Amino acid sequence: MVLSGRKVAVVGMGGAFPKCTSLDHFSDQLFSNQSLIREWDKAVAHGKNVRSTVSGFITEAEMNLETVFSTLLEGYPEVYVDLLNRIPPANLSTADIGSIWAMLGSLDAIKMAGWTDKETESETTGVVVGSGGGGHEIQRNAWHNFFELGKKTRLVGSHTVDRAMVYRDAANVSCLIKNKGVCESIGSACATGLGNIGHAYRLIKFGLQDRAVAGGVEGTSLETFIGFDAMQVLSRGFAPEESSRPFDKDRNGFVCSFGAGIVCLEEYEMAKARGANILAVIDNYFNNSDGDGDMFYPSFAGQQRLWKGLLGNSGFKPDVVKAHGTSTPAGDAIELLSIVDCLGTKGYHISAPKSQFGHMLGAAGAVEFITSILMLQKQRVLPCLNTVNLNPEQENFQKTAAWDGPKSPMADFRDLLPQKSIDKEINSITCLNYGFGGTNSAILISKDN
pTM of the complete model beyond 0.85: yes
359 assigned to active site: yes
Q: Which of 20, 136, 175, 190 is catalytic?
A: 190
190 assigned to active site: yes
Q: Which of 136, 199, 349, 359 is catalytic?
A: 359
R_g over Cα of the chain = 21
Q: pLDDT (tens digit, 9 = 90+) per residue, 199-235? A: 999 999 999 999 999 999 999 999 999 999 999 999 9
- Helix locations, 263-396, DSSP H: 268-273, 300-311, 329-343, 354-357, 364-378
Alpha-carbon span 171 to 162, nearest angstrom: 9
DSSP state of 93: T
Q: What is the DSSP string of 166-199?
A: TTHHHHHHHHHHT--S-EE----GGGHHHHHHHH
For the residues 15-44, what does the mean pLDDT come to?
98
| Alpha-carbon distances of 416 from 228, 322, 407, rounded to whole Å | 30, 12, 17
pLDDT reading at 1 higher than 60: no
Which domains does the chain carry? 8-400+410-446 (3.40.47.10)
pLDDT of amino acid 143: 87
In three-state secondary structure terms, 68 is strand
In three-state secondary structure terms, 23 is helix
- Helix locations, 133-267, DSSP H: 136-143, 168-177, 192-205, 222-230
pLDDT reading at 368 higher than 50: yes
Q: In degrees, to the nearest 5, what angle opens at C-alpha 245 toward C-alphas 244 and 247?
A: 145
Q: pLDDT (tens digit, 9 = 90+) per residue, 386-440? A: 999 999 999 999 999 999 999 999 999 999 999 999 999 999 999 999 999 999 9
324 assigned to active site: yes
Alpha-carbon span 170 to 130, nearest angstrom: 7
Q: pLDDT (tens digit, 9 = 90+) per residue, 296-354? A: 999 999 999 999 999 999 999 999 999 999 999 999 999 999 999 999 999 999 999 99
Average confidence score pLDDT of the chain: 96
Q: Quick one: what percent of the chain has pLDDT higher than 70? A: 99
Q: Which of 175, 324, 349, 431 is catalytic?
A: 324
